[in-house]
Amino acid sequence: MERVCYPNSPQTLFDGGSLPSFQQSLSKTSRVSAMSSQRHRRVDVTALVWTLILGFAVGGESRTIAGFQRAYAAATNQTLSRSSFYDRFTPALGQLLSNLLESMLEEVAVPHTLAPQLQQFRDVMIADATVFRLHRLLSEFPATHPDQSGAKLHLVHNLTKQTIERFELTDERSHESSQFRTGNWLRGRLLLFDLGFYSYRRFALIEENGGFFLSRLKTNANPRIIEGRRKWRARAISLPDRRLQDVLGNLTREIIDVTAEVSFKRRQYGEKRSSVTMEFRVVGVRNEDTDDYHLYITNLPDEFTPEQVAALYGVRWEVEVLFRELKSLYGLEKFQTSNPAIVELLVVAALLTLTVSRALLGVFQKMHSETMFPRERWAKTFRSFAQLILEDLAQSFGHPPPNLAELMFCNARQPEKSRLLLNERVVEAFRTEVSA
C-alpha cells in the first residue's frame, strides 16, 4: 500500500493557503485583546475564537458558555474565573466573528463534481431558510406560536463552491422571501427555489439581471401556453392558447415542455403599479408512482431536457443536508441563553464552524483527489476530532499542553462553599430537628 504523508499539525493545514485572509484577520485580534481591561487580560482572544469554532464537540448536547469554557481551558491550560470568561461574550466579539465569517466566505471553495453542463453558470445557488427554537423569554425573537421564541436563519447556499454566499438572522415570523434581494450579483448564476420564494416578479428580476432560476410550479398556477418546445405525433393534444390546468388531466405523454405566459404586477412607484406579462418555460415530468406531473417553471435554455431539469431541482436537497449538519452536529437548535446578543454571536460561530469544516474538506480533497469524502461523514469526523485540533492549534500559539489533573479539579469542585450537597442538606435538616 502506498504510504500517505499528512501534516503533523492542523496549523500546517490552515497555513497552507486555504484560509489566508481568515488567518490575517484573526491575527488582528491581538489588538482587541490589548485594549481589554486588566481583569480580562489573561483571555487569549485568538484561542477564544478558535474555541467557539471548534469547541462545540465538548459542549454536550447544547452550545453552552460553560461548555466553551471547558474547551478553552483544556486547550490553553488556563483556568479562568467564570465571570472573566462569560464577560467576553459581548456584541464586540459578535462583530469580530461576523467580520471573520465575511472574509472567510470570500475565499472558501470546495472542488465540486457538478455536471459539465452546469459549468456555463458562474455558480449554482440554493435559497432557503430554517427555523430553530430559542429560550422562551427571548421576546426579541417572537415565534408563530404564543409563549415561544424562535429564530429563522436565511441562507443562500453556493452549491458550486460548497459554502454560504449570504445569510440573515430574523425572528421566526419573518417570511423567507422577504430576505432575498435581487441585483446584479445574480448575473450568470442559477438560483434554485422552493415555493416559499415563488414570485413571478422575482423570476423576472432574476432574468433581467442576467441570471437563471428554477422553481416548482405552484399547484394552483394556471399560465396560458404559448407554444410547445417539443414536437409530438400528429394526433397529440394541441397545447397552444390553452390554460395549463385545462389540459393536464388529458395528457398521457411522459414530459411537458412548453413556453407559457404569466402576468404579474411590478413594485409600486408613487401611485402607479404597472401590470406585466412575461414568458417562461414550464416543464413537467410524469411521476410513475402517483401518475401525475412534477411541474417546474424556469428560464433554463432548451439544452436542458425536462428530465435534467427535474434532476437539477433535486439537488435542492443539498441545503437540507446543510441545515441538518448545522442543527444536529453544530447545535444550532440548542442555544441555552436568554441573551439576544449571545444568540446572534453563537449563530455566527456555528456558521464559522461549518465554513472551517468545508475549508478543511477542500484541503483534503486537493491532497487526495482520487478519494471521496461524503460531506456528512466528513462533518461527523471533523466534529469528533475538533477538540484535538483545538488543542494542537493552542500549542502552536504558545500554550502549554493541558494539565488534566488541574483542569478536572477546577471544573469538578464545588463552586460555592455555602452551597450544600444533597446528603449534607439531609444531615443539616436532621441536625436542626434534634437541636429543636
Question: pLDDT higher for 233 or 32?
Answer: 233
292 and 375 share a domain? no
Greatest Cα pair distance, the chain, in angstroms, is 105
- Is 436 part of any domain? no
Is 29 a residue whose pLDDT tops 50? no
Predicted confidence at residue 28, as pLDDT, reads 52
- At 212, is the pLDDT very low, low, confident or very high (cuts 50, 70, 90)? very high
User: Residues of the chain with pLDDT > 70: what percent?
Assistant: 79
Euclidean distance between CA atoms 64 and 253, whole angstroms: 56
Report the alpha-carbon angle 105-106-111, nearest 5: 80
- Is 170 part of any domain? no
Highest mean pLDDT among 191-195, 226-230, 396-400: 191-195
Phi, psi of 247 (to 5 degrees): -115, -15
Mean pLDDT calculated for residue range 66-80: 85
Q: Collapse the DSSP code of 152 into the 3-class scheme (helix H, G, I; strand E, B; otherwise coil) and give the result.
A: strand
- Is 313 part of any domain? no
Is 204 a residue whose pLDDT tops 90? yes
Predicted confidence at residue 294, as pLDDT, reads 93
Could you report the per-residue pLDDT of 76-130, keeping only the tens digit for each?
888 788 888 888 888 889 989 988 888 887 766 555 556 667 778 888 999 999 9
Euclidean distance between CA atoms 202 and 199, whole angstroms: 5
- Is 103 part of any domain? yes
Q: Collapse the DSSP code of 8 into the 3-class scheme (helix H, G, I; strand E, B; otherwise coil) and give the result.
A: coil
293 and 345 share a domain? no
27 and 96 share a domain? yes
What is the domain extent for residue 101? 10-108+334-412
- At 211, is the pLDDT very low, low, confident or very high (cuts 50, 70, 90)? very high
State the total domains in the chain: 2
Domain final position from 298, 323, 343 = 298
In sequence order, what are the beta bridge partners of 130? 153
- Is 272 part of any domain? yes
Identify which of 103, 102, 93 has the alpha carbon closest to the alpha carbon of residue 24: 103
Predicted confidence at residue 165, as pLDDT, reads 86
Is 383 a residue whose pLDDT tops 90? no
Predicted confidence at residue 421, as pLDDT, reads 57
- At 209, is the pLDDT very low, low, confident or very high (cuts 50, 70, 90)? very high
| Average pLDDT in the chain | 80
Euclidean distance between CA atoms 183 and 205, whole angstroms: 8
286 and 355 share a domain? no
Predicted confidence at residue 30, as pLDDT, reads 43
Domain final position from 298, 325, 356 = 298
- Lowest-confidence pick of 62-71, 339-348, 392-401: 62-71
- Lowest-confidence pick of 71-85, 282-296, 375-389, 409-423: 409-423
Is 35 a residue whose pLDDT tops 90? no
Mean pLDDT calculated for residue range 294-322: 91
Sheet bearing 149-158, strands edge to edge: 163-171, 149-158, 123-134, 189-193, 212-216, 292-298, 275-287, 255-265, 224-228
Euclidean distance between CA atoms 351 and 268, whole angstroms: 36
Rg (CA), the chain: 27
Domain final position from 298, 326, 351 = 298
- Is 190 part of any domain? no
- Is 406 part of any domain? yes
271 and 342 share a domain? no
- Is 268 part of any domain? yes
Is 244 a residue whose pLDDT tops 60? yes
